[in-house]
Chain A
Amino acid sequence: MKKELIELRVNGRTYETAAPPNSLLLDVLRQELDLTGSKRGCDDSSCGACTVQVDGVPMLSCTMLAASYQGCEITTVEGISEGGGLAALQKAYGDFGGSQCGYCTPGFMMTVRWLLANNPDPTEAEIREALSSNLCRCTGYSQMYQAIRAVIEAERKNGKTELAGVTR
């Protein structure tokens, strides 16, 4: 299939690249834009390692045609650090053992980031429900919950929870 020009907004920057119309977003991100943070873990959209946010919503980039998402704001794991340093969530995943081999971690980052943006004080069940879109083979998820609770706790201390409540 012949390549066509596409323009993607990724992590706040505009990229122009050429790809066949049947190219998947994951392949374009990894191979054309060299953003290899998003991973491929399966053949059938079951694992969630490729999760990116499209206009703030976590989606599986392995089953999305890149050309269809021109004009959307795409965020990958490379775009979530804060001020060049680790975001609270990234730091907490490291400190609490939420990441072991780390292959699923970029996908979890995108899912949890969405969860906390939309539900700053989730219940245990809501956290489990949200995380069920992504698979991990190392951690048994337990230490991820600890990391997420630590982030929530830290944000509460900073008063951000209330702020988020107001804007919502």
Chain B
Amino acid sequence: MSELSVIGKSIAMVDAAGKTTGAGKYTDDLSLPGMLVGKILHSPYPHALIKSIDTSRARSLDGVVAIVTGEDAPNQYGILPVGHDETALAVGKVRYVGDNVACVAAINEEVAEQALELIAVEYEPLPAYFDPEVSMKAESDLIHPNRPHNIEKDYHHVFGDPDRGFAEADYVAEARYIANEVTHAAMEPHCTLANFEIDPHTGKQGRLTVWSSTQVPYYLQHKLSLVLELSMSQIRVIKPLVGGGFGGKSEIIPLEIIAAVAARAAKAPVKITYTREEVFWAHRGRPRTIIDLKAGVKNDGRITSVACKVIQDGGAYCSYGVVTILYSGALLGALYDIPNIRYDGYRVLTNKPACGAMRGHGTVNVRFAFESQMDEIAAKIAVDPAEMRRINLLKPPTVTVNGLRVLSYGLPECVDQVITRSRWKDRRGKLPRGRGLGMACSHYVSGAANSIIRSEMPHSTVNIKIDRDGGVVVYTGAAEIGQGSDTMTAQIVAEVLGCSMSRVKVIAADTDLTPIDLGSYSSRVTFMAGNAALRAAEDVKKNIVSAAARRMNCSPEDVVLRNDRVWVRDGWRPDSEAAASDAETARGHVDGQILRGSVLQTRKEEAAKDHMSFEEAVVSAIDFHGGLTGTGSYAPPVEARGGKHKGAGVGPSPAYSYSAQVAEVSVDEDTGVVTAHKVWAAHDCGRALNPVAVEGQVIGSVWMGLGQALQEEMVWKDGLVMNPGLLEYRSPSSVESPEIECIIVESIDPEGPFGAKEAGEGSLAATIPAISNAIYDAVGVRLREAPFTPERVLSALRTQHGAKKVEMTAGVDPTQPETFREHGGSLWFRGRGPQRHRADSARQGATMGGAD
């Protein structure tokens, strides 16, 4: 018999049938009696003061129930305590094209849209900032008055002695890398349904219930409480099925607050569902990042020092920005052994939708730069890129120079695996021109060791209740968003209790029912909620075992729970003949135990017992203890919480996942088209609790990285996103998606549940540089700006041929356009462009669209 019975087996998600039959309910599938439709009026200006809003004509439209503006809920909020700079709807000022100005609640969508047309808003345009490097020099017309030079936050970290490290280096490389802006584009557009109940005692609006497509129900409850001035106990947040998050639902999205504000004003349930274009405006994606990277190495490839300056184009609000810019620096550590690091990070505000957390939060773009530069250095000093990585491996257990504790470290095996599988040694540098192999590595946290809101509270808590029917109900606040958190929870509980998965019912992410969990972000759920589930199951198991030991007249240490049976170790064997005949009765219920008390039970107890069914054990435990519940919680250990410097809170994690990848591409030198043929991705997830789910996460991460590497990019003109649709944004289809071979590496983390670590994000960051390095191997050009579109590849190839460099993508945002361009990309503006400040030279002679 193997050590584990449920863990480590590939099984279907517990909610899979609801998804394949259409029976599963997402927020937009829900409706309530008397429900109204909410529609939001968005700003046509990237930066403007609101002089007045006249809603009178809209209000008089038949079917309009309520119209709310910024004045109806002026309290500021934000996901980070240091970044409370958003309001539900704009108060006095709009900061990006698409900013939220007013919301109409009406009896149907048609009336709501008509009403939006009737709202008259008088704006006074201000000069707008689109380029972070220009914005950070701003002296006037600041985006937020309390952020001088439009710098949200800057950090300057020095670890070790970088200057000495560079002096000791035999070779120093220095270059600028740029990764353009990408977004999550989860398939489900954001949706929120909000409803107030009448309080029976006061006769007024009382408790608020919000159903929302969120990764963070608890944070949503908290921010609703701030904005609406309701106590958290009066707010219930329920997360139905969520159609993908990737970080885009990991903070409070404007519609979540607006729906509640509108429901309060309308005195009726209000549902708001974003259009796809609105999803692009809500954004919170990965910022355009400018990375100036310098690395020094010895002749054998050993890194002596790294200096990195990062500028992030954060958009108009803080969002997760302070954390993003810190991750960019902190995660320079914990992958390789780097003795000296200098990091300068600038999170800059611009008049564009806010950037936030996206899969691989903060690390992806810097990892692209770093792994590309390693490849460049390897070529310069004539060391194999794979050897270059091997020579710089960490020696765990260790604490890195910037204070990150590393225990389990499967990177060496990951590197070995991809080298073997891709036949790296035989093929790299030896394929015909136009085809090449590239390698890169990455890592990611298994949850942040310090929560956003610093406190001593557990990061995850799980409750378990078992009743006389033998059903195990698990209550967890962890948010299932398609990654499999409910399944993971059920597996861990079933494994500990030795019962079948079908017995376990997971109730998740409902703030009235489930204990606090910080949510699904930073890949924290398996490690943290998983550990909490493990502890809760052990807590409840303790009571089953003590009662069973009493009945079987043995010591608790000898009680075995497994396969829905409970027995005395060495006294009875589950594979005996008696067990086979017993198994028949074990499937049903135990006669009389539920309704008739313990008559039969008592009689059975008289006989000596050396085994019983799970139900029998449960019933005796309830009879003995008066109930059967358990609780477990998890907070990261103090040793894993990082150093003491300013900003040290971001980066530390109880465990890190590791990934190594090799990508094979071909480059068409006539068209500049890069085709990815295959990616070998080895991922150290500690232990694969459910291998099919781990593979799905790794493949999905690599695939999303491929999108960012080759085609996905948000294109801007005058602050308006020009490609706010899934086709224009170029989310890869099945014909553009290569084969991805996932290799699971298990390093068995000492603190993870059954040794498990992160699986859902860590692989993404390696894919982009692996592709870039493969392009270099194929045609010898180095692409330092992602995505590697045909234009950029052709431009680089021209330079290689000695031709004049053509910047085919220059002139596209963020630089200000020389002439005003018509905007055809927006459905919302119906072909009209956003409007710019009158002093803006680009505006002269242009035909202006009206304010919607």
Contact A97 B734 (CB under 8 A): no
Cα distance A77–B12 when bound, in Å? 19
Distance in Å from the Cβ of A22 to the closest Cβ of chain B?
A: 9
> Which residue of the partner chain A has the closest CB to B731?
A135
Q: List 15 A-B contacts (CB under 8 A).
A: A36-B22, A86-B20, A89-B20, A91-B12, A93-B20, A94-B19, A95-B16, A100-B483, A101-B481, A102-B19, A135-B726, A137-B186, A137-B244, A143-B692, A144-B734
Q: Is B780 an interface residue when CB atoms closer than 8 A count as contact?
A: no
Additional A-B contact list (20), CB under 8 Å, known A36-B28, A77-B20: A31-B31, A36-B25, A37-B22, A39-B26, A41-B276, A43-B275, A47-B276, A93-B19, A94-B20, A99-B20, A100-B482, A101-B19, A101-B187, A103-B188, A104-B243, A127-B734, A131-B734, A136-B187, A140-B700, A142-B739
Contact B699 A105 (CB under 8 A): no
Q: Looking at chain A's contact residues, is the secondary structure mostly helix, strand, loop, or mixed?
A: loop
Distance in Å from the Cβ of A5 to the closest Cβ of chain B?
A: 18
Distance in Å from the Cβ of B783 to the closest Cβ of chain A?
A: 22
Instruction: Point out the residues of chain A lying under 8 angstroms from B706, CB to CB.
Output: 140
Cα distance A95–B702 when bound, in Å? 21
Q: Is B86 an interface residue when CB atoms closer than 8 A count as contact?
A: no
B 725-746 to A, binary, CB cutoff 8 A, 1 in contact else 0: 1110001011101011000000
A 118-129 to B, binary, CB cutoff 8 A, 1 in contact else 0: 000000000111
Contact B20 A102 (CB under 8 A): yes
Contact A102 B15 (CB under 8 A): yes
Q: Is B24 an interface residue when CB atoms closer than 8 A count as contact?
A: yes
A 75-99 to B, binary, CB cutoff 8 A, 1 in contact else 0: 0111011000010011101111101
| 8 Å CB interface, A135-162 against B | 135-144
B 468-509 to A, binary, CB cutoff 8 A, 1 in contact else 0: 000000000000011110000000000000000000000000
Cα distance A138–B693 when bound, in Å? 11
Distance in Å from the Cβ of A33 to the closest Cβ of chain B?
A: 12
Q: How many A-B residue pairs have CB under 8 A?
A: 183
Q: How many residues of B contact A (CB 8 A)?
A: 60
Distance in Å from the Cβ of A106 to the closest Cβ of chain B?
A: 5
Cα distance A166–B461 when bound, in Å? 58
Instruction: Point out the residues of chain A lying under 8 angstroms from B377, CB to CB.
Output: none
Instruction: Point out the residues of chain A lying under 8 angstroms from B818, CB to CB.
Output: none
Contact A140 B702 (CB under 8 A): yes
Q: Is A38 an interface residue when CB atoms closer than 8 A count as contact?
A: yes
> Which residue of the partner chain A has the closest CB to B739?
A142
10 closest Cβ contacts across the A-B interface?
A37-B22, A101-B482, A102-B19, A103-B243, A140-B703, A94-B16, A77-B22, A36-B29, A94-B12, A90-B20
B 666-709 to A, binary, CB cutoff 8 A, 1 in contact else 0: 00000000000000000000000000110110011011101000
The answer to whether residues A41 and B24 also contact, given A132-B734, A138-B244 and a CB cut-off of 8 A, is no
Contact A140 B737 (CB under 8 A): yes
Instruction: Point out the residues of chain B lying under 8 angstroms from A94, CB to CB.
Output: 12-13, 16-17, 19-20
Contact A139 B700 (CB under 8 A): yes
Instruction: Point out the residues of chain B lying under 8 angstroms from A105, CB to CB.
Output: 19-20
Contact B696 A128 (CB under 8 A): no
> Which residue of the partner chain B has the closest CB to A90?
B20
Q: Is B18 an interface residue when CB atoms closer than 8 A count as contact?
A: yes
Instruction: Point out the residues of chain B lying under 8 angstroms from A35, CB to CB.
Output: 22
The answer to whether residues A101 and B242 also contact, given A128-B734, A132-B734, A141-B737 and a CB cut-off of 8 A, is yes
Instruction: Point out the residues of chain A lying under 8 angstroms from B739, CB to CB.
Output: 142
Cα distance A97–B187 when bound, in Å? 17
Cα distance A137–B701 when bound, in Å? 10
Instruction: Point out the residues of chain A lying under 8 angstroms from B483, CB to CB.
Output: 100
> Which residue of the partner chain A has the closest CB to B736?
A132
B 244-263 to A, binary, CB cutoff 8 A, 1 in contact else 0: 11100000000000000000
Contact A41 B702 (CB under 8 A): no
Distance in Å from the Cβ of B661 to the closest Cβ of chain A?
A: 13
Instruction: Point out the residues of chain A lying under 8 angstroms from B241, CB to CB.
Output: 101-103
The answer to whether residues A41 and B696 also contact, given A137-B185, A137-B186 and a CB cut-off of 8 A, is no
